A and B are shown apart, each in its own frame.
Chain A
Amino acid sequence: MSNNTAQKQPELVQLLTPEGELRRHPDYPIDISAEEMRGLYRDLVLVRRVDTEAVALQRQGELGLWASLLGQEAAQIGSGRALRPGDMAFPSYREHGVAWCRGIRPRQLLSMFRGVSNGGWDPHEYGFHLYSIVIASQTLHATGYAMGVQRDGALGADGTAVICYFGDGATSQGDTSEAFNFAAVNNAPVVFFCQNNQWAISEPPERQARVPLYRRAAGFGFPGVRIDGNDVLASLAVTRAALQHAREGQGPMLIEAFTYRMGAHTTNDDPSRYRVSAELEEWRSKDPIERVRTHLTNEGIADDAFFAEVDAEAESIGERVRRECRELPDPDPLDIFHEVYAEPNGHIDRQRADFADYLASFEDADAEGVR
């Protein structure tokens, strides 16, 4: 059914076909070197390997939960590599590929899913905000941040742009519509990057919207474009253009990356209850990594040695992720009282002191051999 929706929509920017052939697009020209192309391939493979390892770690009980990005690597790596260091990204909770591009270490991502932290990194250090779990809440944060950029006077060709990631499910939330509208009326420098992975847990597109998502933007007064979300080059080129549009003060844009969630919603989900495997098979033929590999091979810009090298690096990252996950320190119980407030707070201090005494009473008992 979702396939029918796709066929009804001819306006889809695609620069690299599933067969690995380059396509020209009048609005989104891309000039990419062989080295950059190999770099994108490497990103795609490594990020998938991190994801695969995380799923395995959850199965082994090392993670409480994992939200797999399987199938969405191109949308995330393409857009993530379009960002400049000074740009700011506001993710949902599946943006492991974007996190990778922003320099977040896999173990920092795992800390939340292992339950040793509610966050895991300093958003300012990486230009990548913390994962947002309440769907669409980050769309407003991105808009507010972008309005701050306007007030800093940080626009222009070398200015700052903001990007906000969310899924098809989030487009049903009021916050998304509010963010679209606030960004539009204020001409805020924000790119709304919607990964339409076809499934909001068990809800297919036709249960979520009556019009293609990218067309929403027109109603709010800014451009919207649908791209082949499994095409890393389309994601890179269109996001780069949208970011430039934003940083030069021309306002927001919506990119709908039409992709597919190959895995479950999270490791707690069982998609076999609501979708047919034929659909999965069809999308497997549009795999975001295979087409890049085919292209690299056909164009002769990568050889077997390169692919073997990337595979080896992937294996070593897999091992490192596994090791670092297990090495993540369990938080100190008294950590729960830290940073509730920025300023000193007597009530919290008293509760922490009481709880510390309570915990210490067991240590005393242990020391005295009392059980």
Chain B
Amino acid sequence: MTEALVGEGRGANGAALVEMTMQQAINRALDTALREDPATLVFGEDVGRLGGVFRVTDGLQAAYGQNRVFDTPLAESGIVGLAVGLAMNGWRPIPELQFDGFAYPAVDQIVNQMARMHYRSRGAASMPITVRLPSFGGIQAPEHHGESLEALFAHVPGLKVVAPSDPNDAYRLLLQSIRSDDPVIYMEPKARYWDRRQVVLDGARAQAADTGGDPIGASRIARPGRHATLVAWGAMVHRCLRVAELAAEDGVDLEVLDLRWLKPIDTDGLAASVSRTRRAVVVHEAPLTAGLGAEVSSLITERVFCDLAAPVQRVTGFDVPYPAGPLEPQYLPTIDRILLAVQRTLEF
């Protein structure tokens, strides 16, 4: 890695505590996976010698060789189709699609092939593939570099979808995804790549199940609170935590639920949180209509309707194509828009 690791220490169970960025944490998870399982393969555009356009795969080709970590020609359908074929042959592929918007050319291979092969073959051909997808906005990049595809993929039977919000989760959720025998779309919040936090690395006795104790599909209460629940994932978790800090100055105690898994959604965790706070605001970057916020809102209504003190609010991107860089801050849910929604739900 380009940056030295600092703050190494020891946590419970002998696991190492290391401060690192999310980008480094993902790199460490890939390193762990490549080390522990010779069937894992990392490939995609520019992931080898360059180490990926975000340097997430930095050093992996040098460490594991060109058979395990390799560049592909520039074709996203090809990358995922390759992963499907490799999985049929017993490998555990971890392909990267360079940017969210470039996942669209691979949609047939993701939706019609990867997601359904286990079902079509009645379990004879499992697809333990983790598609790494740098996702969401916030880096003022050109069009197609700031998309939020979670609703599209969460709609597809056979897929699992996950979006970490901080370095520690990025590490654990990626290992969990790779070790899963099902295909996972792993959405990396680009805007948080340089977020530096402590990460609990697997101990020397790394076990397949040692991914922090939470099963696939578990949400996480990022901040406990009493007056309303902010539901978010990816980069919006950090923003909601900031909203909660500001609201606390006015005596409003907000809970922030980091959904993490967008398929399967932690319905129980969601219901438990909202049942306590009686109010919910869902925040996501994707456009409003048929976004995942609608699913979250519906799940809350189905499960804890009688506990609700106000309708579920949604704070989202607008129903427009992702705007050019300078307008990104206006498009993405701002702290003020989220605070306004909190106020609406509290005053209902």
Interface residues, chain A, CB within 8 Å of chain B? 88, 90, 117-119, 122-125, 129-130, 134, 137, 139-152, 174-175, 178-179, 181-182, 185, 338-343, 345-347
In the complex, are the beta carbons of B123 and A343 less than 8 A apart?
no
Residues of B within 8 A of A347 (CB): 264-265, 267
In the complex, are the beta carbons of B124 and A123 less than 8 A apart?
yes
In the complex, are the beta carbons of A341 and B81 less than 8 A apart?
no
Some 21 contacts from A to B, beta carbons below 8 A apart, are A119-B121, A123-B121, A130-B120, A134-B113, A137-B109, A137-B113, A140-B78, A140-B82, A140-B84, A140-B109, A143-B82, A144-B83, A144-B87, A144-B89, A178-B73, A182-B78, A340-B158, A342-B118, A342-B127, A343-B182, A345-B264
Closest partner residue, chain B, to A339 (CB atom): B123
Q: Specify the main secondary structure of chain A where it touches its partner.
A: helix
In the complex, are the beta carbons of A123 and B88 less than 8 A apart?
yes
Please provide the 4 A-B residue pairs with the shortest distance between their CB atoms, ordered closest to farther. A144-B85, A140-B81, A148-B89, A178-B78
A119 to chain B, nearest CB (A): 5
Residues of B within 8 A of A88 (CB): 89
Residues of A within 8 A of B123 (CB): 338-339, 342
Say yes or no for B125: interface residue by CB 8 A criterion: yes
Residue of B81, B118, B125 near A137 (CB, 8 A) is B81
Say yes or no for B36: interface residue by CB 8 A criterion: no
Say yes or no for B54: interface residue by CB 8 A criterion: no
Which of A129, A145, A150, A342 gathers most chain B CB within 10 Å?
Answer: A342
Residues of B within 8 A of A185 (CB): 73
Say yes or no for B108: interface residue by CB 8 A criterion: yes
Alpha-carbon distance between A175 and B108 when the two chains are bound, in angstroms: 10
In the complex, are the beta carbons of B118 and A341 less than 8 A apart?
yes
Interface residues, chain B, CB within 8 Å of chain A? 41, 67, 72-73, 75, 77-78, 80-91, 93, 105, 108-109, 112-113, 116, 118-128, 157-158, 160, 180-182, 216-217, 264-265, 267
Alpha-carbon distance between A88 and B264 when the two chains are bound, in angstroms: 34
In the complex, are the beta carbons of A118 and B120 less than 8 A apart?
yes
In the complex, are the beta carbons of B85 and A142 less than 8 A apart?
yes
B60 to chain A, nearest CB (A): 16
Residues of B within 8 A of A143 (CB): 78, 81-82, 85
Residues of B within 8 A of A137 (CB): 81, 108-109, 112-113
Alpha-carbon distance between A341 and B123 when the two chains are bound, in angstroms: 8
Alpha-carbon distance between A139 and B82 when the two chains are bound, in angstroms: 9
A329 to chain B, nearest CB (A): 14
In the complex, are the beta carbons of A182 and B73 less than 8 A apart?
yes
Alpha-carbon distance between A130 and B124 when the two chains are bound, in angstroms: 10
Closest partner residue, chain A, to B112 (CB atom): A134
Alpha-carbon distance between A14 and B316 when the two chains are bound, in angstroms: 64
Alpha-carbon distance between A57 and B265 when the two chains are bound, in angstroms: 45
B152 to chain A, nearest CB (A): 18
B117 to chain A, nearest CB (A): 8
Residue of A148, A152, A179 near B78 (CB, 8 A) is A179
Alpha-carbon distance between A160 and B228 when the two chains are bound, in angstroms: 60
In the complex, are the beta carbons of A145 and B121 less than 8 A apart?
no
A134 to chain B, nearest CB (A): 5
Residues of A within 8 A of B67 (CB): 150-151
Residue of B77, B157, B267 near A340 (CB, 8 A) is B157
In the complex, are the beta carbons of B181 and A342 less than 8 A apart?
yes
Closest partner residue, chain B, to A135 (CB atom): B108
Residues of A within 8 A of B158 (CB): 340-341
Alpha-carbon distance between A128 and B113 when the two chains are bound, in angstroms: 16
Residues of A within 8 A of B88 (CB): 123, 129, 141, 144-145, 148
Give 5 A-B pairs besides A151-B67, A341-B158 with Cβ atoms closer than 8 angstroms: A118-B120, A124-B124, A178-B75, A179-B81, A345-B264
Residues of A within 8 A of B119 (CB): 118, 338-340
In the complex, are the beta carbons of A122 and B89 less than 8 A apart?
no
Residue of A117, A145, A343 near B86 (CB, 8 A) is A145
Residues of A within 8 A of B264 (CB): 345-347
In the complex, are the beta carbons of A141 and B113 less than 8 A apart?
yes
With A123-B125, A140-B109 as given contacts, are A181 and B75 in contact (CB-CB < 8 Å)? yes
In the complex, are the beta carbons of B72 and A182 less than 8 A apart?
yes
Alpha-carbon distance between A339 and B157 when the two chains are bound, in angstroms: 11
